Amino acid sequence: MRLAFILSEIGSGLRRNLSMVVSVILVTFVSLTFVGAAGMLQLQINQMKGYWYDKVQVAIFLCGDGSTAAGCATGTATPEQQENLRTLLESPAVAQYINDFQFESKDDAYKHFKEQFSNSPIVDSVTPDQLPASFRINMKDPEKYQIISETFSSQPGVETVIDQRQVLERLFSVMNAASLVAVIIAGVMIVCAILLIATTIRLSAFSRRRETGIMRLVGASKTVIQLPFILEGVIAAVIGAALASGTLWAVAHFFLGEYMSKQYPDTAFISPAQTLILAPALLGLGATLAGISSLLTLRRYLRV
Amino acid sequence: MIRFENVTKVYDQTARPALDSVNLEIDRGEFAFLVGASGSGKSTFLRLVLKEDRATSGAVYVAGQNVANISSWRVPRLRRGIGVVFQDFRLLPQKNVFANVAFAMQVIGKSRSIIRDTVPEVLKTVGLEGKEHRMPHELSGGEQQRVAIARAVVNRPGILLADEPTGNLDPTTSMGIMGVLDKINQNGTTVVMATHDDDIVNEMRKRVVELRNGIVIRDEARALYTSMMPVVGQSRRFKDASGRPDGSAADPGDGVASTQSGEEL
Ligand SMILES: Nc1ncnc2c1ncn2[C@@H]1O[C@H](COP(=O)(O)OP(=O)(O)O)[C@@H](O)[C@H]1O
Ligand SMILES: [Mg+2]
């Protein structure tokens, strides 16, 4: 009976304050979407780290036709220079830092390039000659990159030594910055959401002060008096959180899954299923926000 | 049933107390009028019984319990034992008569079947049979107050507090309301009614507690609205003290308000 009564009170409260309830839903929706976006970026970074870190290597690029580096005074790297580098890589001093290495010829490089940019017209304008040959080194400890770099940069026939991990790190730091921005926007929006929920509850308590006054007088418990107001805010916030979760899922499914993964086929994007891990967190966060802000409001505006 | 021990209530430090060292006992089943001019402290008295406010000093006992010792989560239980009606009825305008009375039972978790049985019974007691489905705006003031009374007593409280319940009603209607309150009192409910309606008090001949500036200046059984005995601090003196209806009141020469509670029981 009491439950049915509380439910009907919630229903009438939601109907009476419909426009406020809709604005609470929208504000929580937008703020939690930003929270979720930050979460998705972090998931994506983890995904890419897991995918790339055992694949990325230190690459020693050999001199090509137009190379201008100091070690390239003799023009395109000669087979002898190549052999010297291979010997050096196999020497105990260097071998202790690496798992294995591969030689990537100009033709191999051209093949990989074609695979990577298969949908791009740039492929047609590139010839194998323009791509440098390289040694691809799989490090035991990627942090030891500096040692390889120092050893090989000055070797004749070497144009440059590149730590591919650093290229990725730069990408990750951009993504981290983006997720930080998302978190800051989310923070501001959450403050809006809290204030709006507090105002909504206050209006709701005001418009029903007759009922609550009578409830107090006839001895209704604090729970029966306050719960409809608290649940009103919680329900609106949870609807907003559900919309935010749905939006994140849609982004993962349509944008990442259908569009981005075709544009960048060799990048591992997070799956829509993975975004669903975020959903319970967003729902919980929405409910907690609403619960806390309505409790604080009621303490001031709904004496029991 | 209600006992005030040396109760003082100060709302505003700079003003005089709303109640000043009030000692009073109202027994179970009694009917007492609380009379006095506007601002004399009648509503404050009732609010202290309900624990709507806390006494500044002294102790208020309701049903043997000091209300100061009732923790906030048990205050609802105290209030379930007390019905209240006001001058302005305080009905819910969008609910019909039945729903207004049922509301008081719903919010304390009474089952639907009990509500279905009890509400018509109580409406009969207050004389509103057949008007279950009327909306408040379709009722006269007297009828609205009957609904409010029905709501106040539907959970069978031991005490009914009425704060100027006839304040908005004409004399004839007021007497009807008094009939209802009397009937409820006959059924064993303690009734305390704040009023400054002298006709009603004179008609009912019940116990009268008179307040002035927060001080009990008279407490008389089966009394009239206007005191028939001289009172401390009152410049006006009655020539004929023997004219009072109740010979048991204080010694006229003494002039101190006496406390004689529950003697009509
Ligand atoms: N909530 C309040 N805050 C401050 N003063 C109050 C409050 N309620 C009543 N008073 C003061 O206390 C005195 C008694 O008021 P009240 O008990 O309402 O008298 P009555 O009901 O007899 O008219 C008055 O002087 C009134 O101004
Ligand atoms: Mg008053």
pLDDT tens digits, residue range A125-171? 777 777 888 888 888 777 778 888 888 888 888 888 888 777 778 88
**Type of residue found at A159:** E
Residue B59 or residue A47, greater confidence: B59
CB B43 near ligand 1, within 6 Å: yes
Q: Which atom of ligand 1 is nearest to the CA of B214?
A: 14
Query: What pLDDT, on the 0 to 100 scale, is given for residue A65?
Result: 74
- What residue in B sits closest to A5 (Cα-Cα)? B106
| Closest partner CB to B92 (pick from A210, A218, A224) | A210
Q: Retrieve residue A184's tokens.
A: 């800051």
Longest dimension (CA), chain A: 99
Under CATH, to which class is A58-164 assigned?
alpha beta
Pocket of ligand 1 contains residue B12 by CB under 6 Å: yes
Instruction: Find the mean pLDDT for residues A213-233.
Output: 90
Structure tokens of A89?
A: 């890589």
Instruction: Lowest mean pLDDT of A112-126, B68-82, B149-163, name the range.
Output: A112-126
Nearest residue by C-alpha to atom 2 in ligand 1: B11
For the four alpha carbons of A92, A94, A99 and A104, in that order, the dihedral sign comes to negative
Q: Is the CB of B39 under 6 A from ligand 1?
A: yes
Q: Which ranges of chain B does DSSP label H, i.e. alpha helix?
A: 42-49, 75-80, 97-106, 112-125, 141-153, 171-186, 198-204
Count CB atoms within 10 A of the CB of residue A120. Answer: 11
State how far the Cα of A60 lies from the Cα of A63, in Å rounded to an integer: 10
Query: Closest approach of chain A CAs to the CA of B160, in angstroms?
Result: 11
Question: Within an 8 Å CB–CB cutoff, is residue B133 touching chain A?
Answer: no
Give dist(CA A90, CA A98) in Å, integer. 9
Report residues near ion ligand 2: CB below 5 Å: B 43
Percent of chain A scoring above 70 in pLDDT: 93
Q: pTM for this one?
A: 0.73
Q: Does B84 touch chain A (CB under 8 A)?
A: yes
B75 touches chain A (CB under 8 A): yes
* Residue range B85-89: mean pLDDT, rounded: 96
Q: Where are the domains of chain A?
A: 2-49+169-301, 58-164
Length of chain B: 265
Kindly state whether B108 is in contact with chain A, defined as any CB-CB distance less than 8 angstroms.
yes
- CA distance linking residue A80 with residue A93, whole number of Å: 21
Mean pLDDT comparison of A108-112, A221-225, B260-264, highest-scoring range: A221-225
Q: Which helix (H) or strand (E) holds B66?
A: strand B65-66
Write the residue with the smallest CA distance to atom 24 of ligand 1: B39
pLDDT at B265 over 80: no
Q: What is the pLDDT of residues B111-153, one digit of tens each?
A: 999 999 999 999 999 999 999 999 999 999 999 999 999 999 9
> What's the Rg (C-alpha) of chain B?
19
Other CB atoms within 10 A of residue A76 CB: 17
Do A214 and B73 make contact, defined as CB atoms within 8 angstroms? no
How does pLDDT run across A161-209, given as a tens digit for each residue? 888 777 778 888 888 888 888 889 888 988 988 888 888 888 888 888 8
Nearest to A220 among B50, B84, B107 (CB): B107
- DSSP-derived letter for residue A208 is T
User: What is the DSSP code string of A136-163?
Assistant: EEEESSGGGHHHHHHHHHTSTTEEEEEE
Question: Comparing A137-141, A295-299, B32-36, B88-92, which segment has the lowest mean pLDDT?
Answer: A137-141
User: Is some CB atom of chain A closer than 8 A to the CB atom of B74?
Assistant: no
CB atoms A214 and B78 under 8 Å = no
